[in-house]
Structure 1
């Protein structure tokens, strides 16, 4: 027989658990609303109903966390939803199975990252592990809003103390504080936008909360070596004991290639007869084959490496690990920076210097873009201002042509009687 009575706080307090079984006390006011008395002494509110001919039971709150009054109001809401043709238990199950941001990250890593260059893929994975995952991991994909994106990117742009430690153990680092990282925030925003573009494609949500995110101002780093610095660098590389690392730096300077492309260069990529270097898609940032001409000096480095490298090794600069190219030369570069006095110069700035020398030699932006392997003209435009010098010379030529010519005038001072007019001293004047 069904146990029915008006549920009150007193009824729930005085209800005695049955030994070996759970039982329900149904409310007399709301159909299907009940409290379940568990054999262990716990109490929870339930709602029994039928949907599509099936008997269903939904547990939605525990007592005393939920009062009887609050539970009864919730039961009424669920009852109205059921009467309208809904199934709240199925809705809850769908919500429980709905993809979360952790699921989106996992699938994004599986589907998208394999198509990127190794360095780019590692960088994006780092963004998701350090920023996106900790902030939104347990949120549903449909719960992330444009406001959440803005909050996260603002936090990223504010930066963090260097190095990445909660409590730096060095007094200087403690005083250094956080360093703003607006560029990093923009890159994180681009990854988020791509992730949610996939979410839309997979039917996980209908809009992209990162579409049109606010980009932070980026100030491109512009550091070019002077002719004197280039000479000092060349001398330091000649004196260096590490021929392998010195060769990498020289080839970066002579070709404008990225250091990763040089590190992973193979002998088979070079055609010394036609003086060309064909970079495979696996090593380029654009993931496309990039063929560039090289100078005689660059070809000489390749020939020298053929002699220095153990026979059978495919790498121009083999690493300490058998079968792998050299992995990093940061310590070598740090020593060179100190010796040459260019502590503020990165290896990548050699690429910018290469471009600046091309500009001074009269190369066009289109030619520079092809040599550097840029896929977008916008990237090459950063070197446009270097063309100001020849433009300034042209403007100077126009100004010189327009400048009034000097003309000969006579001295207006009275002349002595014994001096003829033709003997008057001339003055040079300009102007009309």
Structure 2
């Protein structure tokens, strides 16, 4: 398919080496394989190409496909690639058009950007930040420029496998990728295809459930009371030198009434951390014993206040619009902007340690997290035979399966069955003659 002004030679290594740029763009075509040639640019760059007509007849458009730069591969290797391309043209394909479409196709990076815009508009900021972190950290570094439609499970599975030591993070990453592609197909950004996250086996996660016993709740209550009155004593770190360490009587960690109230409200209401810290007084209805949350994790939500929770809130001073106020921020105009307390890490760490609820070398899972107070609230409700639907309602669960994690605590029917079986077995074995029982019966509803 060489033109009249194009050069035609047998493209051997010697012939290619002899081609010299002359300051213009021109082609040198192979005399044996029609359409195979070398493109020489005015700048001096040279590359192997294939030129063909996309269709039949002289009116069909001329296309060009670049194979590789001269020097990257040999003329013989380029010739073999050219044969493959020309064979596909004979079959009716248009390689140049397909290549152009692939370049113009939506990249994975562009798809992620569109998806995160959607998440920012439809979901909570914390959800957006989590999705952004997972995709930016574990997917975009290697996949950003790839066409989104070209990805398969063979691309995603290795990324998931790299997170084997962080099972929860790995599974969340997999879920976000699955959600990304489901949304893209539903939004018609991608044609129907197999979701690249489908079929990848998730890691086994060891769900950590920690519920405080009655005795532990007692210690926690004592520690909170001590922290808000006398203060919790602390000892200097012996590994660190301090020139002016406080006297023993001054080494106390004290918390104010609002922090103590927040810790008590967590376990009394089963509310989430953000729901308590972002609580404003206009959401509190003490007369009816309700909290009206405008924007919780699950949207608008009403929390029922039991008597002790109502008493705690009624005794708190209303010094700010936030029930648990933080450090106010100064505006540019000099006025102060009230803000909620951002976290309770330091006071909780002191209270937890004083209550003996920290981890130890023998049991690293023993440490009680602040969120475990919510679990404890739920466990007491389930253990008191209130039923999973009621407990789920109290916690604000939208999905019943979320509450089902506490199902194993509904032990009364199971315990009765076990007692019945044990009694029958003991009777068959001759009863309890001459034996002293080592069994200590638990009080109903005990943990």
TM norm structure 2: 0.77
Aligned partner (choices 362, 377, 380) of residue 357 of structure 1: 380
2:296 alignment partner, SS class: coil
The structure number with the bigger radius of gyration is 1
User: Counterparts of 2:65 and 2:426 in 1: how far apart (Å)?
Assistant: 93
Alpha-carbon separation, structure 2, partners of 1:38 and 1:293 = 77
Distance in 1 separating the partners of 2:424 and 2:32: 101
Assess, with a 3 A threshold, how the Cα gap between structure 1 residues 299 and 133 changes in structure 2: closer, same or farther: same
Query: Secondary structure of 1:156's match?
Result: coil
- Unmatched segments (≥5 aa) in structure 2: 229-254, 330-336, 359-366, 428-432, 435-447
Which residue does 2:169 correspond to in 1? 184
Deviation at residue 74 of structure 1 after TM alignment: 2.3
Matches within 5 A, 1:177-326: 181-201=166-186, 202-205=188-191, 206-238=193-225, 239-240=227-228, 241-280=255-294, 282-284=295-297, 286-287=298-299, 289-305=300-316, 307-310=317-320, 313=321, 315-320=322-327, 321=329, 322-326=337-341
* Secondary structure, aligned partner of 1:225: coil
Alpha-carbon distance in 1 for matches of 2:155, 2:94 = 31
Q: CA–CA distance in 2 between the matches of 1:56 and 1:152?
A: 38
Give the secondary-structure state (helix, strand or coil) at the position aligned to 1:354.
helix
The answer to whether the Cα contact below 8 Å between 2:10 and 2:30 also exists between their aligned partners in 1 is: yes
Mean CA deviation greater in 195-204 or 100-109? 195-204
Residue 140 of structure 1 deviates from its aligned partner by 2.5
Between the aligned partners of 1:80 and 1:396, the Cα distance in structure 2 is 79
Q: Residues 271 and 277 of structure 1 are in contact (CA less than 8 Å); yes or no, is this contact kept in structure 2?
A: yes
Q: Which residue of 2 aligns with 1:162?
A: none
Q: Does 1:347 align with 2:360?
A: no
**Unpaired segments ≥5 residues, structure 1:** 159-180, 405-427
Superposition RMSD in Å: 2.7
Within 5 Å, give how 1:373-384 maps onto structure 2: 373-384=396-407
Separation in 1, partners of 2:90, 2:405: 65
Quick check: 2:383–2:411 contact (8 Å CA) kept in 1? no
Measure, in 2, the Cα distance between the counterparts of 1:231 and 1:332.
18
TM-score normalised over the length of structure 1: 0.80
* Aligned counterpart, 2:18: 14
Using a 3 Å threshold, how does the CA distance of structure 1 residues 212 and 266 change in structure 2: closer, same or farther?
A: farther
User: 2:397·2:403 contact (CA, 8 Å) conserved in 1?
Assistant: yes
1:248 Cα deviation from its structure 2 partner? 1.6
Distance 1:26 1:361, change over 3 A: closer
Q: Residues of 2 paired with 1:143 and 1:53: CA distance? A: 29
> What is the CA–CA distance in structure 2 between the aligned matches of 1:347 and 1:133, rounded to whole Å?
33
> Are 1:119 and 2:126 matched, yes or no?
yes
State the alpha-carbon separation in 2 of the partners of residues 47 and 208 from structure 1.
Answer: 35
Aligned residues: 378
- Measured in 2, the distance between the counterparts of 1:12 and 1:268 equals 82
* Residues 144-168 of structure 1: per-residue CA shift (max 9 Å, x gap): 222333322221122xxxxxxxxxx
Cα distance in 1 for residues equivalent to 2:383 and 2:64: 80
Shift of the alpha carbon at 1:389?
4.9
